[in-house]
Amino acid sequence: MTEGWTRVCATSELLPGEQAVAWDGDTPILVVNLDGDLHAIEDRCTHEDYELSASHVDASDGSIECMLHAARFDVRTGRALCGPAYQPVRRFPVLIVDGAIYTRDDR
């Protein structure tokens, strides 16, 4: 059932408000636990290709702000919320099997 998926971590290791990064081939995927809902986005700001995982997720509005130039993204949708980024970040599926979190680059 998990063939073709990349294991991120155990569900117990990713508490609400926390994040983890997994690599699926050359793609870094940031998985965020937002109040118990898991969301996966590409761990790259679309403005300057900087890692979003270096930033903190704002649980109050579900956003993450790139540390490099302050572009913000909605972790639930990938939508860019303000400049200098105007392109959304790619979203990826999340699978939970036997207490473990998986994701994959489904492009």
User: What would the pLDDT profile of 43-98 be if each residue is shown by its tens digit?
Assistant: 999 999 999 999 989 999 999 999 999 999 999 999 999 999 999 999 999 999 99
Q: How far apart are CA 71 and CA 9, in angstroms?
A: 27
DSSP 9: E
Task: Report strand pairing: 63-65 vs 80-82.
Answer: unpaired
DSSP 84: T
pLDDT band at 18 (very low <50, low <70, confident <90, very high): very high
Domain edges within the chain: 6-103
pLDDT the model gives residue 9 = 98
pLDDT the model gives residue 86 = 96
Q: How far apart are CA 105 and CA 80, in angstroms?
A: 20
pLDDT the model gives residue 87 = 98
Do residues 80 and 70 touch, judged by C-beta distance below 8 A?
no
Q: What is the CATH number of domain 6-103?
A: 2.102.10.10
Tokens of 15: 């508490």
pLDDT the model gives residue 59 = 92
